[in-house]
Amino acid sequence: MRVGIGGFRHETNSFSNVVTTIDRFQDLNYEFGQELIDHNTGGVRTPLGGFIDEAAVLGIELAPTFYANATPSGHITPETLKILTSNLVDNMWWQHTRSPLDAIALTLHGAGVSDLSDDIEGYLLEALRERFGNAIPIGVTLDLHANVTKKMVALSDVLMGVKCYPHVDEYENARALLHHLYDHVVNNVPVYQSHVPLPWLLAPGAGVTLSGPAHDVQQLTIRLEAENPELLQATFFHGFPYADISQACVTVVTVAKTQEAADAVASEIAQYAWGRREAFMPVCLSPAEAVDKALEFAKGPIVINESSDNPGGGAPGDGTHLLRELLERNLPDTAFGGFWDPAVVQQAIEAGVGSKITCNLGAKADNLHGEPILLKDAYVKTISDGTYVTKSPMGAGKFTTLGPSVLLQAGNVKIGVSTSRRQTLDCNAFEILGVDYRDMHILGLKSSQHFKAWWTDRAEIVSCDPPGIHCSNLSVFEFKNANTSYFPLQDAQWNI
Ligand SMILES: [Zn+2]
């Protein structure tokens, strides 16, 4: 069996003022052919790593094509979507002409928006179907925050999302997808999909699956997969409300050997989740409330995450609400990691290690994330190239970078400032600048839930959620396209 693999991933935040152009992909992941294999071989816990390892077990020949990924940001330009699509479709077709493909396996996100199409995954699948026709099976792994559209379901054969938030199961999910495609092609196992959208916008800040209602729904999907021999997979997609499209919502997607089984399970999960919707209410502390709560712990380290300015969800990463509070408190052994401000990094590098700089830090990307902080005589402690190998279970082993970065010392607060917008998943944002998190009492960082995959066993955690474009309070957003009659904006009704 020969399977073409590839994909492109973007989580689009419609409220970001950063236009997503092709160079944003080229700056992060933009790979062709054998590079897909080389960068994900050897136990790298990425979706492509999952395809590679499962193919080795099943004796599948992989035909690598094109993969691109960019940090979440605003709408993708039409030209960029056309380039990404033609890169993937043309390379997939080239592989097919070399030796016919039996299936296509893609890793996509599911919440990509372009001014050319508000459903970039549906757009890609349409382009593949135009080139390949309907006979070839197409399987897709999606992020749990996918806004799954009717077109995505109609144009794919096996569509499945990760079940965990933090997304620690992307590798296993990709392996499962390839296995289902193998069973379908080699063992003639039929596949039928069911798709149930719910009138519900769910903020990521309320969706962690380590505990609480999202955990309960996740466990139901896992139990049903184990108990029902007809069922191949069931995913409860949280959706991504900051992608302001008409089809943004929570969905359930199932794949089964019969349409009846797929429909029955999707209905059961949707009804259970809808019944629990009131429990998915996020706790939104201010930075001051979060610091007060952090000080109630007998010992540290205590991580305070700024959920509303999560670069992993398209926010700028230069919001000053939490950092300002930490500077004003000036508590001993405080550090902030992964703060984005290229201009300040440049200024500090030019000044050099051991010098002092005065600068306006942060809040430059827009006027939604606080005011710039005037730092006087901040000491330039460290300069780093920003490169590291991911430690978090999310993408462990993957080489990546925060770009040139500096550590500034302002009073008791150490501030790690970087040139690349990245969500802080593990201790690398601190370690690359010489800060051992175990020596710190309070650690500030920008993430909503993903950081918990690594930090939960190593620190106490308190979340704050001041104003920002990744804020959990959805009532503050001016949606243009999303359905504002949905829960929790309105008391929506739903019956299957
Ligand atoms: Zn996600």
What digits encode the pLDDT tens for the residues 6-37?
A: 999 999 999 999 999 999 999 999 999 999 99
Can you give the pLDDT at residue 46? Answer: 94
Of 306, 430, 410, 411, whose CA–CA distance to 361 is shortest? Answer: 410
Q: What is the mean pLDDT of the chain?
A: 97
CA of 41 to the centre of ligand 1 (A): 23
d(CA 162, ligand 1 centre) in Å: 9
For residue 51, report the distance from its CA to the centre of ligand 1, in Å: 19
User: For the sheet containing 442-445, what is the strand order?
Assistant: 356-361, 373-384, 405-410, 413-418, 334-340, 442-445, 302-306, 460-464
Q: Is residue 424 very low, low, confident or very high in pLDDT (cuts 50, 70, 90)?
A: very high
Distance from the alpha carbon of residue 99 to the mean position of ligand 1, in angstroms: 35
Distance from residue 317's CA to the centre of ligand 1 (Å): 17
Ligand 1 centroid to residue 229 C-alpha, Å: 28
Q: Ligand 1 mean position to 144 CA, how many Å? A: 5
Query: Is the pLDDT assigned to residue 284 strictly greater than 90?
Result: no
- Cα(378) to centroid(ligand 1), Å: 36
What is the predicted pLDDT for the residue at 149? 98
What distance in angstroms lies between residue 352's CA and the mean position of ligand 1's atoms? 38
Cα separation, 455 vs 64, in Å, equals: 34
Residues with CB under 5 A from ligand 1 (ion): 143, 145
Mean pLDDT of 387-395: 93
Alpha carbon distances (Å) from 250 to 13, 381, 412, 448: 16, 46, 43, 18
Task: Give pLDDT, residue 266.
Answer: 98
Over the stretch 120-137, which tens digit does the pLDDT of each residue have? 999 999 999 999 999 999
User: What does DSSP say about strands 192-198 and 250-256: parallel, antiparallel, or unpaired?
Assistant: antiparallel
Q: Give the C-alpha separation, 381 to 353, whole Å.
A: 6
Judge contact between 30 and 68, C-beta under 8 A.
Answer: yes
Q: How many residues does the chain have?
A: 496
CA of 57 to the centre of ligand 1 (A): 28
Looking at the predicted structure, is the pLDDT value of residue 496 above 80?
Answer: no
| C-alpha of residue 174 to centroid of ligand 1, in Å | 15
List the structure tokens of 151.
């077109």
Say what the pLDDT of residue 327 is: 98
Specify the pLDDT at position 43.
85
The pLDDT, as a whole number, for residue 179 is 98
242 CA distance to ligand 1 centroid (A)?
Answer: 12
Residue 357 Cα to ligand 1 middle (Å): 37
Contact predicate 348/410, CB 8 Å: no
pLDDT at 282: 85
Model pLDDT, residue 495? 81
- pLDDT > 70 fraction of the chain, expressed in percent and rounded: 100
What mean pLDDT is predicted for residues 414-419?
98
Has residue 97 got a pLDDT over 80? yes
Mean pLDDT of 232-238: 98
Distance in Å, CA 251 to ligand 1 centroid: 14
> According to the model, what pLDDT value does residue 281 have?
85
Q: For residues 357-375, give the mean pLDDT.
A: 95
Per-residue model confidence as pLDDT tens digits over 447-474: 999 999 999 999 999 999 999 999 999 9
Tens digit of pLDDT for each residue in 480-492?
Answer: 999 999 999 999 9
Distance CA 8, CA 16 (A): 20
Once rounded to an integer, what is the mean pLDDT over residues 205-220? Answer: 96
Mean pLDDT of 143-167: 97
From the CA of 327, how far away is ligand 1's center (Å)?
Answer: 31
CA of 186 to the centre of ligand 1 (A): 32
Q: What is the distance in A from the centroid of ligand 1 to the CA of 157?
A: 22
